[in-house]
Amino acid sequence: MESQVNPTQEIPQSEVTDQLMEWFYRIGALRAALDLQLWGRITAGEDTAKKMADQEGWDPTGTRVLLDAICALKLLSKEDDRYSLVPESACYLLPGKPTYKGGLLQNEFNWEGNGKLAQAIRSGKRPVHYDATTADVVNIWIADYSRRWVYPESYFDTDDELWRSLEIQARDGLRVLDIACGPAPRSLALRRMHPGVRLTWVDWDEILHTALETAARVGIVSQISLLTGDLWSVDFGSNDFDVAYLGNVTHFFSPEENTRLFRKVYNALAPGAVIVVNSAARREMEEAGWVDLWLYAVTASGGAYSFNEYKKMLESAGFKDVEDVNSQPIKGFKP
Ligand SMILES: C[S@@+](CC[C@H](N)C(=O)[O-])C[C@H]1O[C@@H](n2cnc3c(N)ncnc32)[C@H](O)[C@@H]1O
C-alpha cells in the first residue's frame, strides 16, 4: 500500500539551522581575517592575493579564498584581482584608527568563554567570561562607542529628540547627574541646548577622560564635574540634582541592585526632580531573547527588564508617576 504521508509536508525546511551554520562560516572567516590583519595589509599595498601571499609567505590558495570570503561579507571589494577596502572596513577595521573595532570583535568572539555558557547555566555561576560592570572592560566601551567619540555630531538629532520626547527642557542652572555616562551624549545634548546647564558625570577614569575629549570636540569645556570610579561607591550627594540619567546600565544589575541604585539616586535628587532610565535591553523588545542571554553571560545578575519591572523598582525606591515614554525611556519623579 502507498504511504499516505507526504514527506514535504511532514518534514520542515532546515532554514534557520542552515542559516546559523552559514554564520559559523562567516564568523570563522572574520576571525581569520582579523587575526591576519588583512585590511591593514591591503592598505600597505598587498592588494592582490598573490602579493599578500608572497610578501607574508602564506599559502596562496588560502589567502585568496579568505580574501574572497571577506568580499562576500561586504568588508572588502574586488576588481579583477585587486582588493580594496569599503568605507565600513576603512573606518572600523584598520588598526590605529580611533574608530577601530577589530579588538572589540576579537573580544566578543569569546563573549561566552568559548563554549562555557552551557556549564554556567548548569551551575548558575556567572559572569561567564568577563564582567561588564568592572573597570577591566573600559576598552570594550571605548571601542564600542568609537563612532560616538569621534563623530558626536552624527547623533545630535537623536540625542536632542530624547529630551523633547521626555518634555525636559534645558535651562540656566539645571543640574544633571549622568550615571555610567560613557560618552555622555544625552547629558551633553542638554548642555548644548543651554550653556547654563551643569553636568556631573559618573564612570571609570578612562571613560571620563575620553568623554571630556569628546565634549571638547563639540566645544564644551566648562560646567562638567566628574565623579570618578565605581557607581556603587562614589558619593552622589543629597538634594543636589534636578535630572538623573541612567542610560544602558541598569540592565547590568539585578532588580534588587537597581532598587538600591535608584534609592541612592533618589537621595541625590532635589524634590520635584526627575529620573530617566533608558535601557536598550528591554524585555518587550523583539531581540530581547538573545540580549538577555548576553547579559546573563557578561554580568553577575543583570537582565532585560520590562517597563512594569522597572516601575516596581523605581516605586520601591520612592519615585512617583513612573511613565514609559514612547516605549523606551522611563521617567519618574521625586515628590
Ligand atoms: C553600555 S555603556 C552606556 C553608556 C551611556 N550611558 C549610554 O547610554 O550611551 C555602560 C557604561 O556603564 C559604565 N559602568 C558599568 N559599570 C559601572 C560601574 N560599576 N561604575 C561606573 N561605571 C560603570 C561603563 O564604564 C560604561 O561606560
The ligand 1 atom nearest the CA atom of 133 = 16
- Name which residue sits closest to atom 26 of ligand 1, judged by CA: 182
Predicted pLDDT of residue 81: 97
Q: Is the pLDDT of residue 1 over 80?
A: no
When the pLDDT of each residue in the chain is averaged and rounded to a whole number, the result is 94
DSSP 234: S
pTM: 0.92
Asked whether 261 lines ligand 1 (CB < 6 A), one says: no
Q: Is the pLDDT of residue 6 over 80?
A: no
Q: Is residue 36 a contact partner of residue 93, using CB atoms and an 8 Å limit? A: no
Q: Give the 3-state secondary structure percentages of the chain, helix then strand then coil, rounded to 5.
A: 50, 15, 35
CA dihedral sign, ordered 315, 320, 321, 324: negative
Q: Is the pLDDT of residue 7 over 80?
A: no
CATH class assigned to 137-333 = alpha beta
Q: Is the pLDDT of residue 5 over 70?
A: no
Q: Distance between CA 62 and CA 270 in Å, rounded?
A: 64
Predicted pLDDT of residue 3: 57
Predicted pLDDT of residue 13: 87
Cα of 247 vs centre of ligand 1, distance in Å, is 8
Per-residue pLDDT, averaged over 95-106, amounts to 92
Q: Is residue 212 a contact partner of residue 189, using CB atoms and an 8 Å limit? A: no
Note the CATH number of domain 8-97.
1.10.10.10
Q: Where are the alpha helices (DSSP H) in 167-204?
A: 185-193
Predicted pLDDT of residue 281: 87
Per-residue pLDDT, averaged over 82-106, amounts to 95
* Residue scoring higher pLDDT (152 or 41): 41
Give how far Cα 238 sits from Cα of 14, 217, 270, Å.
58, 32, 8
Confidence of residue 30 (pLDDT cuts 50, 70, 90): very high
pLDDT tens-place string over residues 243-297: 999 999 999 999 999 999 999 999 999 999 999 999 988 888 877 788 999 999 9
pLDDT tens-place string over residues 185-213: 999 999 999 999 999 999 999 999 999 99
Q: Where are the alpha helices (DSSP H) in 243-306?
A: 255-268, 288-298
pLDDT tens-place string over residues 40-85: 999 999 999 999 999 999 999 999 999 999 999 999 999 999 999 9
pLDDT tens-place string over residues 258-272: 999 999 999 999 999
Predicted pLDDT of residue 326: 75
Q: Distance between CA 328 and CA 279 in Å, rounded?
A: 7
Of 203, 232, 243, the one to substitute when testing ligand 1's pocket (max ligand atoms within 8 A of C-beta) is 203
Of 140, 141, 209, 227, the one to substitute when testing ligand 1's pocket (max ligand atoms within 8 A of C-beta) is 141
Q: What is the DSSP string of 12-62?
A: ---HHHHHHHHHHHHHHHHHHHHHHTHHHHHHTT--BHHHHHHHHT--HHH
Q: Where are the alpha helices (DSSP H) in 37-137?
A: 38-43, 49-56, 60-72, 87-92, 102-108, 117-123
Q: Where are the alpha helices (DSSP H) in 152-224?
A: 156-166, 185-193, 205-217
Predicted pLDDT of residue 184: 94
The ligand 1 atom nearest the CA atom of 185 = 9
Cα of 180 vs centre of ligand 1, distance in Å, is 4
Predicted pLDDT of residue 4: 63
Q: Where are the domains of the chain?
A: 8-97, 137-333
Q: In which residue are the cell numbers 535608584 written?
A: 262
Predicted pLDDT of residue 284: 83
Cα of 143 vs centre of ligand 1, distance in Å, is 13
Q: Is the peptide bond before 127 cis (omega within 30 degrees of 0)?
A: yes
Q: Which residues contact 86 (CB under 8 A, 6 or more apart)?
A: 74, 75, 76, 77
